[in-house]
Amino acid sequence: MNKNLRPAVVAGNWKMNKTPDEAKALLGEIIPLVKGADCEVVACVPFVDLLVALEATKGTNIKIGAQNCHWEKSGAFTGEVSAEMLKAIGVDYVIIGHSERRTLFGDNDLTVRKRTRAALDAGLKVILCVGEYLEQREQGITTEIVRLQTKIALLGVSAEELKNIVIAYEPVWAIGTGKTATAAQANEVNAAIRELIGELYGKAAADAIVIQYGGSMNAANAEELLSQPDVDGGLIGGASLKAKDFSVIVSEANA
Ligand code: PGA
């Protein structure tokens, strides 16, 4: 982190976990533990938990996010939820392009770009996920893959709009596997993304953009990962479902 240049953002990605009652209970545990954090704290919850989560976090420092949105405002898109709908109920953030959406539900760089556009147009903040497969890392093309994913998603995004984007570097091989990228690996890719932002938008934008690391970040390894200059927080899956563990990560981001 480099807090002189940009805030840290720690976001929980609850994935398909917690009923509304369970969500309320977990947030009830998290709220007192992260009170007074000097980083941004976000909980990205399942669609059905959004209203309860918004109510439970009213007046607290926790922002609520969704985990996907469709690119059209409304229409015949069975099973989808639009960015406008999320904005209308008071959601702040939306995760776009998570690797589980890409590998399991057919999302690709072009649909990620369309969803990003819709989210920005609706006034949501985007957590844009990019990351390589293990084979791609072994081939030595991690930087190229991540640059391309980022570039395509940001096509047509203005410098002003970029302020509403957080990028999450999530190596696919590290998600939910317990295999974390080393702090040096995470920092190297995050720095490469920042360099790309510099090429596209200039140095001030590169300095200001928040780039998280995600992939088995937990209470034990957060300190080392977050001590890296280009790792500005985390997108946390498994560990975000345990109030204590999540709050330890938030407190490491406060350090
Ligand atoms: P994990 O998930 O922390 O469980 O690896 C991270 C993510 O998918 O965002």
Mean pLDDT of 161-173: 97
Q: How many CA atoms lie within 13 A of 72 on its CB side?
A: 7
> What value, to the nearest 5°, has the Cα angle with vertex 173 and ends 244 and 239?
5
Mark whether 98 is an active-site residue.
Answer: yes
Closest residue by Cα to atom 3, ligand 1, is 237
pLDDT, one tens digit per residue, over 10-55 is 999 999 999 999 999 999 999 999 999 999 999 999 999 999 999 9
At residue 179, does pLDDT exceed 90? no
Q: How confident is the model at residue 178 (pLDDT cuts 50, 70, 90)?
A: confident
| Percent of the chain with pLDDT strictly greater than 90 | 96
Residue 255: its pLDDT value, please?
75
Residue 30: its pLDDT value, please?
98
Closest residue by Cα to atom 7, ligand 1, is 237
Ligand 1 centroid, distance to 170 Cα (angstroms): 8
Closest residue by Cα to atom 2, ligand 1, is 237
Mean pLDDT of the chain: 97
Q: What is the pTM of this model?
A: 0.98
Mean pLDDT of 66-93: 98
Give the Cα separation of 181 and 171 in Å (integer). Answer: 8
Mark whether 170 is an active-site residue.
Answer: yes
Which one of 70, 98, 132, 252 is the catalytic residue? 98
At residue 80, does pLDDT exceed 90? yes
Report residue 192 as tokens: 């490469």
Bridge partners (DSSP) of residue 210 are: 166
Pocket of ligand 1 (CB under 6 A): 13, 170, 175-176, 214-217, 235-239
Question: What are the helix and strand counts (H, E) for the chain?
Answer: 12, 8
Q: How confident is the model at residue 204 (pLDDT cuts 50, 70, 90)?
A: very high
Residue 11: its pLDDT value, please?
98
Atom of ligand 1 nearest to the CA of 129: 9
Report residue 180 as tokens: 């974390």
Atom of ligand 1 nearest to the CA of 215: 5
Give the Cα separation of 210 and 128 in Å (integer). Answer: 11
Closest residue by Cα to atom 6, ligand 1, is 237
Residue 180: its pLDDT value, please?
86
At residue 123, does pLDDT exceed 80? yes
Q: How confident is the model at residue 176 (pLDDT cuts 50, 70, 90)?
A: confident
Mean pLDDT of 194-203: 98
Span 9-254 CATH architecture:
Alpha-Beta Barrel (3.20)
Q: Domain segments of the chain: what residues?
A: 9-254
Report residue 116 as tokens: 């990003």
Atom of ligand 1 nearest to the CA of 100: 8
Helix (H) or strand (E) holding 229: none
Ligand 1 centroid, distance to 6 Cα (angstroms): 23
Give the Cα separation of 88 and 50 in Å (integer). Answer: 12
Q: What are phi and psi of 36, to 5 degrees?
A: 80, 5
At residue 228, does pLDDT exceed 90? yes
Asked if 132 and 91 count as a contact pair (C-beta separation under 8 A), the reply is no
Give the Cα separation of 62 and 93 in Å (integer). Answer: 11
Report residue 141 as tokens: 């093309």
